[in-house]
Amino acid sequence: MTGTAKSHAKGFKPEAKKHLGQHFLHDQGIISMIVQAVDPKPGDRLVEIGPGQGAITFPLLDRHGELTVIEFDRDLIFPLSEGARAHGTLEVIHRDVLTVDFSALANESPIRLVGNLPYNLSSPILFHALDHAGSIVDMHFMLQKEVVDRMAAGPGSKVYGRLSVMLQAYCQVIALFDVPPGAFRPPPKVDSAVVRMIPHPPQKIGIDDRALFARVVRDAFGQRRKTLRNALSRICEGTAIEAAGLRPDARAEQIEVADFVALANWLKANAQVEADTGEDAADNTD
């Protein structure tokens, strides 16, 4: 056994790596709340993203008996595998989560995702998961509180924006509870929160052209102070917005998710969309 392996076997826990956005959860009360929120049942296929030092991993194994984890940091693989022996059966996938095909991983047996996500990659991971929503039962993620607030916000809220609409169009988003910085080592500089996301069944989503829908939402929130007529001028005329049942003089933060879907579907059905110039509006998810 190498010196490194010996130190791992004795309970060595690698330090958090700042460039990977690592903050390891240690608060037992919060850990219990997360496990209770997930509430695994017999037959569930649990997949944890970024298990870190196993703070959530091992209690989930104690409760459920088996778990798959996706971990990018190779220094964590051995201590996770060794530590899991006393708790249950652990499958470790050493990959960047953004390269993992969740649909292939599910293999016709839908999975449940759990994770304390790195805050610098939270949005890409969320949208990657949504690309495979048909293979996912639900998701329980720890994220920056500010992000969770935006994810769950409704029309009229100051934080309702592109992220809110894009996620809520495909999922039910429920903010569960807040987590203070002291629950982590090292403590982050922001508060965190746990969110539950439950993908809508395909028939409830009702989006005819996902790329067009994303483009409408992107442009609508690109410059928040503009009315829909002005914000969407690269896509359609104000008369088309009105024909779809929306007020052209309204602003994006006033529009329900279902109305964005209705507008995109109307534009698709009536071939009213102007060509995309390829110039993104401001990439604003506020």
Which residue ranges make up the annotated binding site for S-adenosyl-L-methionine? 23, 25, 50, 71, 96, 116
Residue type, 2: T
Alpha-carbon span 40 to 46, nearest angstrom: 8
Q: Decide: 178 and 158 in contact? Cβ < 8 Å.
A: no
H or E element that contains 229: helix 228-231
Binding positions: 23, 25, 50, 71, 96, 116
Strand-pairing partners, residue 172, are 198
Write out the two tokens for 110. Answer: 């839908």
Q: Decide: 154 and 160 in contact? Cβ < 8 Å.
A: yes
Alpha-carbon span 179 to 157, nearest angstrom: 22
Q: Decide: 78 and 5 in contact? Cβ < 8 Å.
A: yes
Helix, strand and coil content of the chain, in percent to the nearest 5, comes to 45, 20, 40
Residue type, 136: I
Residue type, 285: T
Beta strand pairing call for 66-70 and 46-49: parallel
Alpha-carbon span 116 to 207, nearest angstrom: 30
